[in-house]
Structure 1
Amino acid sequence: MSCAHQPACPEAWENDRQAARVVASHPEQGWSLLCNGVVIFADTGLALPDGRIVAPQGRDAHPCERAA
């Protein structure tokens, strides 16, 4: 996935992937879509663009409340 932000958002496979910008936020549903194609859930679990799932990591990693 190509990011147009400067500096570019981290790619989905990088350790800091959750630092990517929110492009769609749905806190009422408990998820947000990040610029790198990662879906982050309210419990901080992740769905990566290739279909892999990452277990919840802790509350500090959750950007669902951030404005798009």
Structure 2
Amino acid sequence: MCQHRPVCPSADSPDREAAVVVASHPEQGWSLLCNGVLQFEDTGEILPDGRVIAPHRALAEVA
């Protein structure tokens, strides 16, 4: 999918979230990355092959 330089990390790469955003819908809570990953505001993801990555946002500490 990526057509620019430098090439974005692939959807299987651990740093896949560093890919360029090609469509952003903050009102709906998601963005499409150049590598085909759908990234949600809660940090969950759907990969191009349909695999789901659970949200992995750091939890806030309770004082």
Per the shorter chain, which TM-score range? 0.7 to 0.9
- Is the helix fraction higher in 1 or 2? 1
Flag structure 1 segments of 5+ consecutive residues without an equivalent.
60-68
Higher RCO, Cα 8 Å, sep 6+: 1
Q: How big is the alpha-carbon RMSD for the aligned residues of Structure 1 and Structure 2?
A: 1.0
Q: After TM superposition, what 4+ stretches of structure 1 lie above 4 angstroms from structure 2?
A: none
Tell me the percent identity.
66
The number of aligned residues is 58
Q: TM-score, normalised by structure 1?
A: 0.81
Structure of higher CA gyration radius: 2
CA deviation string 1:9-34 (max 9, x = no partner):
00000000000000000000000000
Q: TM-score, normalised by structure 2?
A: 0.87
Flag structure 2 segments of 5+ consecutive residues without an equivalent.
59-63
